[in-house]
Structures are given as structure tokens and as C-alpha cells.
Amino acid sequence: MNTELEARQRAHIMYTWSAQSRATPLPIAGGKGATFTDHEGNRWLDFESQVFNCNAGHGETRIIRAMQAQLESLACAHPAAVYEAKAALGERLASVTPEGIDRFFLCLSGAEANENAIKIARAVTGRTKVVARRRSYHGASMGALSLTGDPRRLAGEPGLWGVVRIEDPYCFRCPFETTPDRCGVLCARHLEHVVQLEGPETIAAVFLEGITGANGGFVPPADYWPTMRKICDKYGILLVADEVFTGFGRTGRYFAVDHFGVTPDLITLAKGLTSGYAPLGAVGMTERVAEHFDTSTLQCGLTGYAMPVSVAAAVATLDVYREDRLVERAAERGQELAAGLWRLKARHPAIGDARSLGLFGTIELVTPDGRPLVAYDTVAPKDSPAGRLKEALVRRRVHAAFRWSFLMIAPPLCITSEELAEGLDHLDAALTEVGL
Ligand SMILES: Cc1ncc(COP(=O)(O)O)c(C=O)c1O
């Protein structure tokens, strides 16, 4: 770490989601593919893609050149501006999003995509309440934070009125204490019970992450999404897939819902949309939803709507996914990740569960008697086993995501088999060193 640079920065620029005195700075000066370099020129394996963002990989010159070209031709444009990259982005998005999602509203982030989706769902249905899961994250702005179920929402309370909670498809610690053989997707079916008690005519939408992201990578049973779809259809409720984390190939398909054969009414996008090269989000919707706004005003939009440089970054990113077959490669590497995590689980008793879909894997760490290794909503102290594991990985220059008892692995989709194996070997060694 370049400590002088860090001190200069810390003097005036704040860190996110942290007491400033306890922030963990990330030393990054550049990068290529699935690796980045720090200020001393050391190579790090990026097992987190800069907050599940950089799906196309670091230093991707095709994206950078497209952004440069856009800046030189048109850098600043009115929200209603008509230009080539904007038309091209709509066409590209319509060709990769689930069948039936055809029209897109643009914004700047995942949080803002969810804010807009709430407003759109309310306008289309004339209803106000929204349903979201307990262990979910939907963004840091006030509305998106209200939708969020995890403890980050507490900082924003009292928030948006009318958010109703449902339980999670957290099979390892099933909220209904059932087992796979008796499951019957109670976590999905109980939505109907909640809807009936709340009054179906009051509920505009159900928001679900494609698969739970930062709260622990819960991959739901096969009939979870279809069951949700059926219940929403029965009561005229819009189904919203928040694919901000899981979109653009992360799970080995373009979108996590593609694994379940379900088309949501709305889909919220960001992160992998530009691979983190520029801020951009989007709300995709079916024609049935979009046509409401053919005659009614769409009461949404910022000055920075469809910033040309962000839009050009998105078009180029989508082209990189297609040209390099990155989604297919994520599915292939995903098999290797799953096998690697199961091997680690067999070797390390502290791994209570290992789950993954595509290039998003999670190991859940437990105490010898099966309790979470790190208590919910606490940060592991540096001298605790989880704290030492984190330090052992940093020493091996593997950048991974820790949250409570979950260690999440989500490298850029261009990672090679060798790099993936190298990172998993480091994880194995780190777990052994710490005695987990
Ligand atoms: C599922 C999900 N939705 C929304 C967001 C918010 O996205 P952003 O940070 O771009 O606002 C995130 C961010 O991690 C996310 O994981």
C-alpha cells in the first residue's frame, strides 16, 4: 500500500459503508483481465470483480476505445438526444434480455434502477406496496434501501412506506426448518399467504434478486421462480428481477432468471452492463408494462439520462461478451469453480456449505457445532478466525468478498482455468494456515 497516497486521499475523500477509521483501502493502480496491480506493481487475483462489477475484465481496450471515440464525437447530450450508440444499446439489450423484455429506461446505478422500477410498478398497477425478501440488497438510495432487507436498511429507517417482507430461499438454514426431501418451495409458496393477508389489491410488485447476491449467494430450488411467477400472475402483481448483481453472464447465463425459464415483468440492471467502465443502470420491461406509458407520462429521469460515454461503454461491453463468448465461458469456468469449492468443503470442516452458479460461488463458514462463524451483522475482528482468513488471503494477494460468515468468489468472466485454480489453491492454503 502506498501509504502517503492513501493518507492524502483519506484527508478529504470518504470511504463507503464503513467507519472511516476502520475502512479497508484497496490498492489498485491498473489491471488486465482477471488480475490487477497495486502501486508497487504487485499482481493480485481479482476474485470479486470490484464489487461484482467488472465482468468483462480489467484493461479491456475495446471498451476504452469505444468510450474515447464517443467522447470525441458527442460527449454531452440532452436526455431526449438521438444518437447512434443509444439506438444500438436498445437493440443489444433487447437481444440478450429474457424473451418479452423489449423496452428500457436508463439511469445511473443499480439503486436508481430499483427506484425507477418501484415508481413504474406503482404507476402501472395503481397500487402502492412492494414485497421484498429479508436477506436482500437493492441499493443505497432511500427507496432502494427501504426495499433492502439486510441490516443496511436500518440506517435509512423510517424509509419508504409499504414494504412487506417475505422469507428467503436460504436452503442451508431454511427459514421453515424443512429439508430438501420435504421442501415443496415453502419459501416461494408463502408469498401467497402474505399477499392474501396484506390485500392483493394493495401490492404493486415483488422484487427478487435473480439469485441472492451480497447476502450469501442463495441459489433457489428449480421451481422457486416459476412459483413466484404463478402467484404474481394470479393476483395481478408485477414480478421484478433485480439482476444488478447476477446479470450479464455472472451465473453462466445472461441473466439468473434464464436458468429458471421465467420472464419477469421488469428487470433491473447495472454493474455488468458497462462492466464498471462507466456508471449506467437500466430498467427493462415487457411491452405490456411499457405500453402504459405510451399515453401516460413516465415520471422518471435525470439530467444525466443516457450519458453518451456510459452508453458507448455499454454497447462495447455487450459486444465483448458476445465476441469472446464470455457468458458461455462463465458457465464452463463455473463448473470448475463448483468442483473446486466442493473439494475445499471436503477438506475444511469450517466450510458448512458451498454453493455456486456460474462464476458466483459462496462458502459459508461455521463453528465446530455448526453455528455461523461470524454473527449476523457484525464485522469479524482482525484476530478472530475469519479476520485471520481475510488477512491470509490479502497476504497471498487474492481479493475476495467477505460478509459475515460468507466468503464470495466472483471473478471477471474472462478468468482462465489456471487463474481460477491458482486462487482456489491460495484459498485452500489460507484456510489451512488459519486452522479452519
Ligand atoms: C442485487 C443488487 N441490487 C442493487 C444494487 C445497487 O447497485 P448500485 O450500487 O449500482 O446502486 C446492488 C449492489 O451491490 C445489488 O447487488
Instruction: Please provide residue 290's backbone torsions phi and psi, each rounded to the nearest 5 degrees.
Output: -65, -35
Whether 379 has a pLDDT exceeding 90, the answer reads no
The x, y and z cell numbers of residue 161, run together, are 412506506
Residue ranges lining ligand 1, Cβ < 6 Å: 109-111, 114, 137-139, 209, 213-214, 242, 244-245, 270
pLDDT band at 377 (very low <50, low <70, confident <90, very high): confident
- Residue 432 Cα to ligand 1 midpoint, Å, equals 33
CA angle 233, 239, 242 (to 5 degrees): 165
Cα(255) to ligand 1 centroid in Å equals 15
Is the preceding peptide bond at 279 cis, omega within 30 degrees of 0?
Answer: no
Q: Report the alpha-carbon distance of residue 153 to residue 146 in Å, rounded.
A: 6
Q: How far apart are CA 157 and CA 285, in angstroms?
A: 29
pLDDT, residue 1, reads: 76
The β-bridge partners of 166 are 133
* Ligand 1 centroid to residue 238 C-alpha, Å: 20
Enumerate the H helices of 110-185 as residue ranges.
Answer: 110-125, 142-147
Mean pLDDT (the chain, rounded): 97
Contact predicate 355/361, CB 8 Å: yes
Type of residue numbered 335: Q
The answer to whether the CB of 244 falls within 8 A of the CB of 270 is yes
pLDDT for the residue 2: 79
- Residue pair 300/122 in contact (Cβ under 8 Å)? The answer is no
- CATH homologous superfamily of 3-48+325-434: Aspartate Aminotransferase, domain 1 (3.90.1150.10)
Q: How confident is residue 96, by pLDDT bands cut at 50, 70 and 90?
A: very high
Going by alpha carbons, the residue nearest to atom 13 of ligand 1 is: 139
Nearest CA to ligand 1 atom 4: 138
* Side chain identity, residue 189: R
Class of domain 61-323: alpha beta
Residue 180's pLDDT is 83
Residue 99 pLDDT exceeds 80: yes
The DSSP string of 139-176 is -SSHHHHHH--SGGGGGG-S-STTEEEE----GGG-TT
DSSP single-letter state for residue 272: G
State which ligand 1 atom lies nearest to the alpha carbon of 271: 10
Q: What's the 245 CA to ligand 1 centre distance in angstroms?
A: 6
Q: How far is the CA of 50 from the centre of ligand 1 (A)?
A: 12
Contact 93, 280 (CB under 8 A): no
Give me the residue spans of the domains in the chain.
3-48+325-434, 61-323
Q: What is the pLDDT of residue 85?
A: 98
What does DSSP assign to residue 109? S
Range 250-271 average pLDDT: 98
270 CA closest ligand 1 atom index: 10
Ligand 1, closest atom to CA 279? Answer: 10
Residue 182, φ and ψ in degrees, nearest 5: -110, 10
Rounded to 10 deg, the angle between the 417-434 and 326-347 helix axes is 20
Distance CA 120, CA 114 (A): 10
Separation of alpha carbons 121 and 293, rounded Å? 11
Determine the distance separating the centroid of ligand 1 and the alpha carbon of 435, expressed in angstroms. Answer: 34
- How does residue 181 score in pLDDT terms, banded at 50, 70 and 90? confident
Q: How confident is the model at residue 413 (pLDDT cuts 50, 70, 90)?
A: very high
Residue nearest atom 8 in ligand 1 by C-alpha distance:
110
State the DSSP H helix or E strand holding residue 51, giving kind and residue range, or none if neither: helix 49-52
Q: Is the pLDDT of residue 283 over 80?
A: yes
Assess contact for 172 and 353: CB atoms under 8 A: yes
C-alpha cell at 215: 447476502
Q: How many Cβ atoms are within 10 Å of 77's Cβ, its own excluded? A: 16
Q: Whole-angstrom Cα distance, residue 227 to residue 211? A: 15
